[in-house]
Amino acid sequence: MTTKLKPVDVVIIGVGWAGSILAKELAQTGLKVVGLERGGYRRQEDFTLPGIHDQLKYDRRLELFENLSRSTITFRNNTREVARPMRRHGPFPWGEGLGGAGFHWAGWTWRHTPWDFEIRSRTLARYGEKAIPEGCTIQDWPMTYDELEPYYDKFEYTCGISGKAGNLKGTIQPGGNPFEGPRAREYPNPPLKRSYGESLFEKATQGSGYHPFPMPAAQMSQPYTNPDGVTLGACGYCGYCMNTGCEYSAKAVPQTTVLPVAMKTGNFEVRTHAAVVRINTSGNRATGVTYIDSLGRELEQPADLVLLTAFTWSNVHLLLVSGIGKPYNPATGTGVVGKNFSWHNALPYIPLFYEKDHVFNPFMGAGALGTVIADFQGDNFDHTDLGFIGGNILVAIAMGHGPLTFQPTPPGTPGWGSEWKKALAHYYTRTVQVLGLHDHLSYRGNYLDLDPNYRDAYGNPLLRLTYDFGPNEHQMSKYLVSVGEKIAKAMNPSHYAVYGLPEHFDAGAGYFVIHQVGGAITGSTPTQSVVNKYMQSWDVPNLFVVGASAFPQISSFNPTGTVGALAYYAADAIKNQYLKHPGPLVPS
């Protein structure tokens, strides 16, 4: 039996970065907002010494990630295969709990470039139709970089991002990324301190004519108070950032930025261990949601406005099980829900091994400590006759590496025994890691739908992923491996290896980078997208779907900065347009 609760103005599904930003923005207007979070309640103060320094708990057992015995996805490479459930996270871990994946992220805080937002039209204009591979379904975003720039800026100043601008109002700045879109002002904090390994990468890439710059980081290079009056501490370079919280309160997460402000309004309530199983509708309106609480009770939360702000998988899954929008059909190319799934991978991955004249400290670092070149990202280089479009950023990382996740040995080293131990002891402090993050196109055959054979703990069909690498990515891999080889040699190690893409995507493999986007994409028309430019559902106007699920394809840049910008962009549209005149914000 379902218990119907008292109606509220707004119900938010998933309280990560997007949900927390929208909660704060709307609660400040006086609206009564309820946030439903599937995982538990997390406080910043729970992540202090000595408990935080626990690699087994956070890096190996993934304490802060989704419980796959309760809900997971099924996977197959193509429609000829039978999908099977994923019972360990592998390349697709996703967070749960208050703060979502935003609580335990590494802090890489990027903006997309103008080219990323206009990938199809700019590719056609420069290279023609032949440059776009057969079966490729990339599309332009419905908004431009310039439209989102103020919201990128707001997210960066809320978070206190440490970095160096490369393009201030169209003027290229020394030391920053010369290929970025123009920004209105400098980063709120200076860059983090550069590591020794990064300095070798910087010297090699500068000597090759490239343009190295510091990674934009959500770790504070100095104490910082954001525009909402919330103060963060300075990074201690302890190396415990990714997969866990921050003992210094020096990493921008929802708990150290927007959630305290939302809570102070008195208009925002968080309910944890609340698993939403359905968005309820009547005609073309959402009436609220149904969720299961920690006692197993089924509760209905009515609301005037429903905001779906969960992880990519969850956003698409809830739309499908709720019957909102037309499911995508790869055979006909019709439908939109589940379309254009795309994934972020490390390409290439380059470990470099040195001898006694170079000693590094793998224990120290920060989640987003790195030096980057973007010379081969997007369309920053001529692709004529290369056989692919897009590219990558290349990063020398100094994230901090504990022994459970970092066992570097040169190619040819035995995989076990005394020789392996000897090599590991020698190279543990003599290894630098360089990796690329590459653009990945969307394809007709890469999509999400409901699995006909498996169900989750609540009785809903599992989400099914059909995915493999495309021809563009394989051709890109060959080219970027050759670029990586050139840079590796210039860094002058005693040994190195350069790894590109395997022939097929392997859901059981341990890939380095794990970002999933698409499935509830944004676009200019309801025939090509699930949501309009303001993240508003074309089918249900009082439903907004905000998150990486809106990306039509993934770029080289990590998605969180763009997710934050989209959340502020959607909040602005809701406050200044929708609340005044409820209904569609874009004509269909």
| Catalytic site positions | 515
Q: How far apart are CA 79 and CA 326, in angstroms?
A: 19
Entry field: residues in the chain: 588
Q: Amino acid identity of 443?
A: Y
> What are the start-end ranges of the E strands in 41-174?
73-76, 84-85, 167-168, 171-172
Q: How far apart are CA 15 and CA 263, in angstroms?
A: 13
Q: Are strands 370-373 and 392-397 parallel, antiparallel or unpaired?
A: antiparallel
Q: Which DSSP string do the residues of 361-417 spell out, in sequence order?
A: -TT-B-TT-EEEE-TTSTTSS--TTTS----EEEEEE-----TTT-----TT--SSH
Start-to-end CA span in the chain (Å): 38
CA distances from 306 to 13, 262, 285, 487 (A): 8, 17, 10, 49
Q: How far apart are CA 218 and CA 108, in angstroms?
A: 7
Q: How far apart are CA 20 and CA 438, in angstroms?
A: 29
Q: How far apart are CA 240 and CA 237, in angstroms?
A: 8
- Whether the upstream peptide bond of residue 50 has omega within 30° of 0, thus cis, is yes
Q: How far apart are CA 24 and CA 66, in angstroms?
A: 25
Both tokens of 230, joined, read: 């919330």
Q: Which DSSP string do the residues of 11-32 spell out, in sequence order?
A: EEE--SHHHHHHHHHHHTTT--
Q: Which helix (H) or strand (E) holds 563?
A: helix 560-573
Radius of gyration (C-alpha) of the chain in whole angstroms:
23
Helix (H, G, I), strand (E, B), or coil: what is residue 36? strand
Q: How far apart are CA 273 and CA 293, in angstroms?
A: 6
Name 440's Cβ contacts closer than 8 Å, sequence gap at least 6: 342, 343, 344, 345, 390, 473, 553, 554
Question: Would you say 391 and 556 are in contact if contact means Cβ atoms under 8 Å apart?
Answer: yes
Helix (H, G, I), strand (E, B), or coil: what is residue 286? strand
